[in-house]
Structure 1
């Protein structure tokens, strides 16, 4: 018998397993994938640590969370500064004075504010009824048309005029020349990739990979006093109230015979006609890699690795990435949560178990909170 069966070896499940093991609890961790780490899994290709499931930049203002993850790896000082490409034009993200100067030729914050306000006034929208109207009422026509509309429609698989306005509650507009995407105090990427962090967390704990909980449900459930389930909440209950909606992703990774493909780790493609939303060039996540001198190891000269990220409709069998937290889905989730709250043996956690999109620092905080609540 185990004290805990932990379904999923991603960040949430691995932190809980680590904390339980530290307290003398016996854990079994299972994962349907053939590797540990969930979506933060990294693999080394040509000496470059490749983020297999999209870019993962750790950022937080929570000192406790930052110190917690730093016990498992040394983090570099990578700063996320994505670039948006609209046709042949390049813009800095998030929207800041560099963006406004490129778009309108303005130089001072007062000029930029005036231009944005003029376009907001021209839109004349007082009560936004959808995402398109919400964006126009926040930043005006030019920024919306070039940097928001196409990207958002690809990401969500719907036209902006059909999406609810609450998806964009606010848009980060900075009237400074600052390309740092995050406002958080701490930011970086682990030297050597994320997989090593999970390996250290799960050291000394039994792990079974390529193990589907639902194919061995009765057998696995009987093995433990409690279950920590980080999969899809609706799947756990056999979709008895219907399916919750998600968006999925598809990745195409290529090894290219060139030193430097795009000059930046992340380039967003904002026009609708380009099917992918962004291209990630992984070597730029690690300081020095642009020169072929990666901290991660020996990088093959004249080589780089890129990943194109394609949004996709979710259906059963696909990997769910983004919960669709509109009113209909939130109401449906509330029904499932009402059942989940009555469970004495099962605890649901993570973005799928809680049907909420979390950044990594949120996952760390939630997992530690659960461990404290469960075990003190």
Structure 2
């Protein structure tokens, strides 16, 4: 059988594209090397709790069309992301707001908090590294307690050795609002993300535990076009060298208690604690189960065989990416999409938007 589209990767980009193609009566074969669909937004039930297997995923967007689109496939709850920071046992609210400043300095007047930050800010027009950038934005106290340790664990490098552009801005609010996101729409799908992907893939043929590169010659022949969502450098056999990533290790456990930390997300911002954060999954859906599931996240350097998460978009890697992008632009029958194929970190709504746009462009051209 000859398919219209081979879709490499059963994550959100591939699933949305497949759904749009199926609506136009196109045939799709979706393959994924993992043993499940959903990519990194995969959720599975453990003790009747929907566990985010690859880290916390909170859907948030200002794009009304994207919000209405995902709501066709699930009911979203009213979850609001309000993470907590734990610095050596001291608890602070995130994002940085009046609750944070009251805990830091005992101030309740927004003007007074602004003045403290202003006096602590590094006066620097051209920050040369992440530390200088952060100090110029929020000052010494916030940087030392809530940014430095967490960032160095996340990237595995001293903040002085990280490029300034990693922190383009830091949200500082002089209100008592703990809502991390400013987006109009926000929530968690009731029942987890996996059912959304299942509905998007209805009508497509799906093969799991299937590595595209193990049978590349075969797969390249069985479809008119390929939608590729995997690692860009791997697609081109690393001919310009590998692109660097950070990856995550997850350590999950079931606890025989109804509540472990009282919040879905707690970041550990001191450098001594080896993990970056603890996720307590039941709080994403306001669970009342008798047990709870918690996951500790550890950041590490990507090695072959790991799951790549965060592109290291420094000057060297971005230059290498542009070399690969030159090859992408010469392709006729391959559509590249998603964070790995574009070497860019995306929020979930951006993946949905990008896939919708790519599918509409492609399917419109296919009808000509």
**TM-score interval (norm. to shorter):** over 0.9
Q: Separation in 2 of the partners of 1:259 and 1:127?
A: 49
Q: Give structure 1 stretches of 5+ with no counterpart.
A: 293-298
- DSSP-derived class of the 1:216 partner: helix
Partner of 1:317: 305
Match of 1:51 in 2: 52
Residue 263 of structure 1 corresponds to 262
Worse-matched range after superposition: 124-133 or 224-233: 124-133
Greater than 3 Å deviation, 4+ residue runs: 123-126
RMSD after superposition: 0.7
Match of 2:6 in 1: 5
Instruction: Name the CA distance, whole Å, in 2 between partners of 1:13 and 1:305.
Output: 29
1:305 equivalent to 2:305? Answer no
CA positional deviation for 1:153: 0.4
Aligned to 1:20: 21
User: Could you say which residue in structure 1 is the equivalent of 2:32?
Assistant: 31
**Separation in structure 2 between the aligned mates of residue 207 and residue 135 of structure 1, nearest angstrom:** 45
CA distance in 1 between counterparts of 2:78 and 2:20 reads 27
> CA offsets, 1:3-37, max 9 Å, x none?
00000000000000010011000000000000000
**How is 1:94-243 mapped onto 2 (pairs within 5 angstroms)?**
94-120=95-121, 123-243=122-242
Equivalent-residue separation in structure 1 for 2:127 and 2:334 (angstroms): 41
User: Which residue is equivalent to 1:350?
Assistant: 338
Q: 2:339 aligns to what SS in structure 1? A: helix
Query: How far 1:345 sits from its partner (Å)?
Result: 1.4
Matches within 5 A, 1:249-288: 249-287=248-286
**For 2:163 and 2:200, how far apart are their aligned partners in 1?**
40
Per the alignment, residue 70 of structure 1 pairs with: 71
What is the alpha-carbon distance in structure 1 between the residues aligned to residue 330 and residue 246 of structure 2? 28
Q: Following TM superposition, by how much is the alpha carbon of 1:127 offset from its aligned partner in structure 2, in angstroms? A: 2.6
Q: The residue matched to 2:44 in structure 1 has which SS? A: strand
1:373 aligns with 2:361: yes
CA distance in 2, matches of 1:268, 1:200: 33
Kindly provide the CA deviation profile for residues 240-285 of structure 1, in whole angstroms up to 9, marking residues without a partner as x.
Answer: 0001111100001100011100000000000111111000000000
Q: Return the alpha-carbon distance in structure 2 between the equivalents of residues 152 and 62 of structure 1.
A: 29
Q: Deviations over 1:179-207 (max 9, x none)?
A: 00000000000001000000001112100
Shift in Å, 1:124: 4.1
The answer for the alignment partner of 2:320 in structure 1 is 332
1: distance between equivalents of 2:326 and 2:47? 48
